């Protein structure tokens, strides 16, 4: 039992520490907006003070009217004067509250805007290892759901929290000034509310955090399944998908209803406590009035004070819910923003001009593993002369794509080096390395926009050069058959085949006109006829350019200057197609097996 209590205490301290840590980070992040928040808080506090002052004047009006009824003479001028003061107070309070809401709305939207901008900048600075290890849906959830949660929570909690505290303290002071017996009556009846609120606060934070985490997982699964929905249906994986989604959706339901239930308890509990205080004040006030210790005005004022006193308790409870939601969302957002970034390269001055590049590439005893205990490439060396077409073949998991990722500096080497024109890639900035290569990947990437925009993506070229590249790739005729030619918008309403998409990405690589090329299964999504067309275009594209071609379809790399056969991260064979076939080794086995399967 003591061990269990210690464990629960540790968990509670961890949650509290997590809440405080997340809120500190959020406050630090919003420091540039703090002066404006303070102005909003001041406006809210002043508006609240005006509201607090109202009941004392209502007490005076009540006493004037009640005494006037008894004496058969009501001082209309004094009543009118007090009513005018009340109107000024309440109108001023309304205007100040409106201004503070306007300020907070502007601030919170600017905070969410800056958060999204920073996340967008950060995503280009984190290592590719983090992107590969995190689902796309989870990252999207941080940008959308979590940022929106922070914005809503800030807008609904910061100024109202301070105005509620002011209203609470102001009501306590005014009640004691008016009548201490009635004040104690009202306060004691609401102490229970504080105790319940603290108890709920301690137990609800973990559910808010769990809800945000699971919501990210739900988005991740939905994004993955819907993106590949055709594969799921063809594989008859609908039931399995429904079952896995049901499990994670049930978890979201469980955490969501618990967090909403606990937060929803605040309002009815506070309402009950407020009504209890209201009843207590009426009963005690009636007794005191019977013994002529107070007049009717005091009871009227306390009825208002009790309502005002219970409102801030309810508001504070609600603000606490918003702050807990903001804490849970902030923890996830700042977890991403605090991720380790790729090393700073602003001090690097070495630069390779793409226009003057020869294209010699050297791999010297490179060693690499995605984790320190799982080395994929133990020791790899190779010299590639300028203008060579190097094909990399081998079974799945041999290290082909990893080798290309290392060449592009998407990942850093454990040891050894890669050099281009005798200059180590580690001495160049990543942007410089990327500018030396054009890439065509197996997975096509086309964004919503015109074909012209897609082909010219990040390349300032003329329409003539674009059309020339499209003709070389054999895609010009297809584009001209579309409703608006090169100005046709690529979206979900335009149905084009996977092969046509690949042709467009290959055309984009040709337009880029980089001095070196990487082709990772570039022809895997096209038919045999289109493949022949692309091969002719690729032969023209790779002329006098150093190129690296990853291929499973070995018939496409017969004309390569050098074929590297990889297995378990090592080069087991190398040579031309003819030389490797004559060796009758692993390459010949792979080549013959493909044609045997094709014959069958």
Q: What's the pLDDT band for 193 if we cut at 50, 70, 90?
A: low
The domain defined by 358-387+395-435+555-600 folds into Rossmann fold (3.40.50)
Top mean pLDDT of 75-89, 406-420, 564-578 is at: 406-420
pLDDT for 151 equals 84
> Is pLDDT of 14 > 60?
no
pLDDT for 13 equals 43
pLDDT for 232 equals 63
Q: Crossing angle of helices 296-337/76-122, nearest 10°?
A: 10
pLDDT for 420 equals 92
Least confident of 144-148, 273-277, 428-432, 462-466: 273-277
Is the separation of the CB atoms in 210 and 204 below 8 Å? Answer: no
Name the token pair of 267. 């309002």
pLDDT for 362 equals 92
CA–CA separation, 474 and 445 (whole Å)? 19
DSSP-derived secondary structure for 34-95: HHHHHHHHHHHHHHHHHHHHHHHHHHHHHHHHHHHHHHT---HHHHHHHHHHHHHHHHHHHH
List beta partners, residue 383: 362
> Is pLDDT of 598 > 50?
no
The burial class, CB within 10 Å (0-12 / 13-18 / 19+), for 236 is exposed
Q: Outline which parts of the chain fall under CATH 1.20.1560.10.
A: 8-337
CB count within 10 Å of CB 324 equals 26
Top mean pLDDT of 310-324, 471-485, 544-558 is at: 471-485
φ, ψ of residue 460 in degrees (nearest 5): -95, 90
How does strand 546-550 pair with strand 449-450?
unpaired
DSSP secondary-structure letter at 277?
Answer: H
> Is pLDDT of 166 > 70?
yes
Q: What's the pLDDT band for 173 if we cut at 50, 70, 90?
A: confident
> Is pLDDT of 96 > 60?
yes
Using DSSP, state whether 572 is helix, strand or coil: strand
> Is pLDDT of 504 > 80?
yes
Is the separation of the CB atoms in 399 and 478 below 8 Å? Answer: no
| H/E run at residue 520 | strand 516-520
Is the separation of the CB atoms in 391 and 562 below 8 Å? Answer: yes
> Is pLDDT of 294 > 50?
yes
Q: What's the pLDDT band for 4 if we cut at 50, 70, 90?
A: very low
Where is pLDDT greater, at 234 or 213? 213
pLDDT for 6 equals 36
pLDDT for 194 equals 64
pLDDT for 3 equals 40
- CA dist 207 → 12, 31, 261, 322 (Å): 13, 28, 10, 13
DSSP-derived secondary structure for 92-151: HHHHHHHHHHHHHHHHHHHHHHHHHHHHHHHTTTS-HHHHHHS-HHHHHHIIIIIHHHHH
The arithmetic mean of pLDDT across residues 386-413, rounded, is 84
Q: Outline which parts of the chain fall under CATH 3.40.50.300.
A: 358-387+395-435+555-600
> Is pLDDT of 181 > 90?
no
> Is pLDDT of 419 > 90?
yes
Least confident of 158-162, 399-403, 435-439: 158-162
Q: What's the pLDDT band for 373 if we cut at 50, 70, 90?
A: confident
> Is pLDDT of 15 > 60?
no
φ, ψ of residue 447 in degrees (nearest 5): -100, 165
The domain defined by 8-337 folds into ABC transporter transmembrane region fold (1.20.1560)
Least confident of 58-72, 87-101, 121-135, 355-369: 58-72
- CA dist 148 → 348, 518, 540 (Å): 39, 40, 50
Give the pTM.
Answer: 0.65
């Amino acid at each position: 039992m003591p061990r269990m209590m210690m464990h629960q205490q540790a968990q509670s301290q961890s949650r509290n520490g997590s809440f405080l840590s997340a809120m500190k980070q959020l406050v630090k992040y919003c420091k540039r907006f703090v002066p404006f928040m303070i102005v909003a808080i001041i406006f809210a506090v002043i508006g609240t003070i005006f509201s607090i002052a109202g009941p004392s004047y209502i007490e005076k009006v009540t006493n004037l009217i009640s005494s006037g009824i008894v004496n058969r003479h009501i001082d209309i001028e004094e009543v009118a004067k007090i009513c005018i003061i009340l109107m000024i107070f309440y109108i001023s309070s309304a205007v100040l509250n409106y201004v503070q809401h306007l300020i907070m709305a502007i601030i919170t939207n600017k905070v969410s805007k800056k958060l999204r901008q920073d996340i967008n900048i950060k995503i280009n600075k984190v290592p590719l290892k983090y992107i590969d290890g995190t689902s796309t849906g989870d990252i999207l959830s941080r940008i959308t759901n979590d940022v929106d949660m922070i914005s809503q929570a800030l807008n609904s909690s910061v100024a109202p929290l301070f105005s509620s505290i002011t209203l609470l303290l102001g009501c306590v002071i005014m009640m004691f000034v008016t009548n201490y017996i009635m004040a104690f009556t009202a306060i004691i009846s609401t102490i229970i509310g504080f105790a319940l609120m603290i108890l709920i606060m301690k137990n609800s934070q973990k559910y808010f955090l769990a809800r945000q985490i699971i919501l990210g997982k739900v988005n991740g699964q939905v994004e993955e399944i819907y993106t590949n929905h055709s594969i799921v249906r063809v594989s008859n994986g609908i039931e399995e998908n429904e079952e896995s989604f049901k499990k994670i959706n049930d978890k979201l339901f469980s955490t969501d209803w618990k967090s909403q239930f606990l937060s929803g308890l605040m309002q009815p509990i506070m309402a009950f406590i407020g009504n209890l205080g209201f009843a207590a004040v009426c009963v005690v006030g009636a007794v005191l009035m019977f013994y002529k210790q107070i007049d009717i005005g005091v009871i009227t004022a306390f009825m208002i004070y009790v309502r005002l006193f219970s409102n801030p308790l309810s508001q504070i409870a609600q603000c606490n819910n918003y702050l807990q939601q903001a804490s849970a969302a902030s923890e996830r957002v700042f977890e991403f923003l605090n991720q380790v970034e790729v090393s700073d390269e602003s001090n690097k001055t070495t630069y390779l001009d793409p226009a003057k590049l020869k294209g010699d590439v050297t791999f010297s005893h490179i060693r690499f593993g995605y984790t320190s205990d799982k080395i994929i490439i133990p020791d790899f060396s190779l010299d590639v002369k300028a203008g060579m077409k190097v094909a990399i073949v081998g079974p799945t998991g041999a290290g082909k794509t990893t080798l290309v990722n290392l060449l592009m500096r998407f990942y850093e080497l454990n040891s050894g080096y890669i050099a281009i024109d005798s200059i180590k890639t580690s001495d160049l900035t990543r942007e410089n390395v990327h500018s030396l290569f054009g890439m065509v990947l197996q997975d096509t990437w086309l964004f919503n926009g015109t074909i012209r925009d897609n082909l010219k993506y990040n390349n300032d070229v003329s329409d003539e050069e674009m059309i020339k590249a499209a003709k070389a790739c054999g895609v010009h005729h297809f584009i001209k058959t579309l409703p608006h030619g090169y100005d046709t918008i690529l979206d979900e309403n335009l149905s084009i085949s996977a092969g046509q998409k690949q042709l467009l990405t290959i055309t984009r690589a040709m337009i880029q006109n980089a001095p070196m090329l990487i082709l990772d299964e570039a022809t895997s999504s096209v038919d045999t006829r289109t493949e022949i067309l692309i091969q002719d275009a690729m032969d023209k594209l790779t002329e006098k350019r150093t190129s690296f071609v990853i291929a499973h379809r070995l018939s496409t790399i017969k004309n390569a200057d050098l074929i590297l056969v990889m297995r378990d991260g090592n080069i087991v064979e190398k040579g031309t197609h003819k030389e490797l076939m004559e060796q009758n080794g692993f390459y010949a086995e792979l080549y013959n097996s493909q044609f045997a399967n094709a014959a069958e």
